Structure 1
């Protein structure tokens, strides 16, 4: 009986410590233990990160994590071929292609391609410079999202839960009571499931930080958006271009209708000749 009471007391103490540890993780504080493992996917300290001062006066550099994403639109004479070259450029840089959509030329649509590229953040600028050589750059829209605090929060929670699970496992190995073991296994299972979820989130966040996401749109010159004139000279040139396009369209319509006009003229002449001949025959009779 005394052994059971002692075991129950140990279990209550372990659960209390685990709860306190989890609470500390939610508030963003880091917890260390003799059996705790390092957070999964923790980034290396960055030279441009924020700095703080520890209690001993030592300057501590906080790792800065940034998620880069954006869209690039390029006009290419051969969008399908340019898409193949873009894949080669990205893979050579150590990246990958997560999605690829291509549209072949049809009677009503020009060819085009859209690629979702994952490019290492360390070589993003150099890779974009190579992608620009695929054609005429129309738009580049890049954004940076600082997720440093989110990463630090995940690291702290992972460390705290790892310590909690290890303590429960150590207590389980020393317990001989069946009821106590059942309660310990239930507590370990709950915390291990939460820990696995946090580790998965941290890995995903680290991947987003390490690999920038860029959507590359390759379009043909026919799909290039028309920009509005910004100066009087540009407006004059646009007007002349429209004037010439109008008469070109009219000329093409006339050329298209020319065979029908010729056929109609022949039919009209034949009808006119028949009518006049009948009139001539009817005149002597009258």
Structure 2
């Protein structure tokens, strides 16, 4: 309270001194000075609030719109009379557009294969549609397929992360410059190395994405026209003869190749047949020897005594020998009438 009282007395004394020294003119200026003084104390407060009110309605994130980022890819099928020449024409057009050829494959064609070419080109994305429309001047476009992939969010994310990492790297470098001891310096260097590696990786990813956005990628396949593919037959007799001759030559070539492929199999089958024949012969030889041994060897009960069948046969033979004329009948065969073959001769002898 005493301080407030002293301050009030000082203010009143200063006002009275100003009124006494200024006269009548100063009295008229006093209110003006007081009016100007009152705002002089408050203008500082108002000036501090004014910038905040002016910046509030203009945020950077709201109205700012980033351009659409697209990656354009596509494939085109093209037919031409000379695919190799068409590929060279396409290459020249790409170079004029400040593009590049990422891949080029050409097949001049042989007796069995038709000429063919394949190109993977990169051209400015804004020239893609016009370039595709101009392909009709080179050959016949049979199929077109294009795709536009929106990568705006991916690009924005990479850009924001790169910006934050760059600020972090700058702060770490400042800390390294103001490091008071070796431990702080080493810690700052390790953190800076990690941040810098991550920053380089993200920068490379954004550079690759920018390249994909800037240049579209088209894969162009060039083949021959339908007339040059040999779909139609011979036009006249001589062409038919030539076609038949070529067909015969091709068949003979295929036959020779087939014979060469079959020769090892024929050798293998011959060896296998010889082995099987040897096995069959061995089996038959053993079977024949077993039959012969069985026929020669007498039965078990024939040793020292004859079987009843053998005894009957021997009795019949002995009886036939004791009868007269049996020997002559046995010695001389009979003729067709059943009598002795030499009966007249026997009677003449008597």
The verdict on a shared fold, with TM-score over 0.5 as the criterion, is yes
Alpha-carbon distance between aligned partners in 2 of 1:77 and 1:70, rounded to the nearest angstrom: 23
Offset at residue 81 of structure 1 (A):
0.5
Q: How many residues align?
A: 188
1:180 maps onto 2:184 in alignment: yes
Paired position in structure 1 for 2:108: 104
TM-score (norm 1): 0.59
Deviations 1:142-177 (A, max 9, x none): 000000000001001101111111100111011131
Root-mean-square deviation over aligned CA pairs:
3.1
Structure 1 57/142 Cα, relative in aligned 2: closer, same or farther at 3 Å? closer
Contact 1:89 1:131 (C-alpha < 8 Å) held by counterparts: no
> Which deviates further from its counterpart, 118-127 or 207-216?
118-127
1:145 and 2:183 aligned: no
Structure 2 equivalent of residue 80 of structure 1: 84
CA contact (8 A) 1:110 1:223 kept: no
Q: Is the 8 A contact 2:77 2:143 kept in 1?
A: yes
Q: Give the deviation of 1:63 after TM superposition.
A: 1.7
Equivalent residue, structure 1, for 2:137: 133
Provide closer, same or farther for how the CA distance between residues 62 and 172 of structure 1 changes in structure 2, counting only shifts above 3 A.
same
For 2:92 and 2:243, how far apart are their aligned partners in 1? 47
Distance 1:223 1:99, change over 3 A: farther
Structure 2 distance, partners of 1:186, 1:141, is 50
In 2: Cα distance, 1:247 partner to 1:94 partner:
47
Q: Which residue of 2 aligns with 1:221?
A: 225
Cα distance per residue 1:81-128 (max 9 Å; x no partner): 010100111111121111101011101111111111001011112222
- Change over 3 Å in CA distance of 1:171–1:224 after alignment to 2: farther
Matches within 5 A, 1:101-250: 101-222=105-226
Question: d(CA) in 2 for partners of 1:207 and 1:144?
Answer: 15
Contact 2:121 2:217 survives alignment (8 Å):
yes
CA contact (8 A) 2:81 2:228 kept: no
Summarize deviations over 1:199-240 as a string: whole Å, max 9, x none: 000000011001000001111125999xxxxxxxxxxxxxxx
Between the aligned partners of 1:56 and 1:154, the Cα distance in structure 2 is: 19
1:91 aligns with 2:95: yes
Using CA pairs under 8 Å that are at least 6 residues apart, name the structure with larger relative contact order, 1 or 2: 1
Instruction: Please state which structure has a larger fraction of its residues in helix.
Output: 2
Q: Deviations 1:19-47 (Å, cap 9, x if unpaired)?
A: xxxxxxxxxxxxxxxxxxxxxxxxxxxxx
Larger C-alpha radius of gyration, 1 or 2? 2
Kept in 2: contact 1:158–1:199 (CA 8 A): yes
Aligned-partner Cα distance in 1 for 2:108–2:141: 21
Structure 1 pair 221–148 and aligned structure 2 pair: CA distance change class (3 A): same
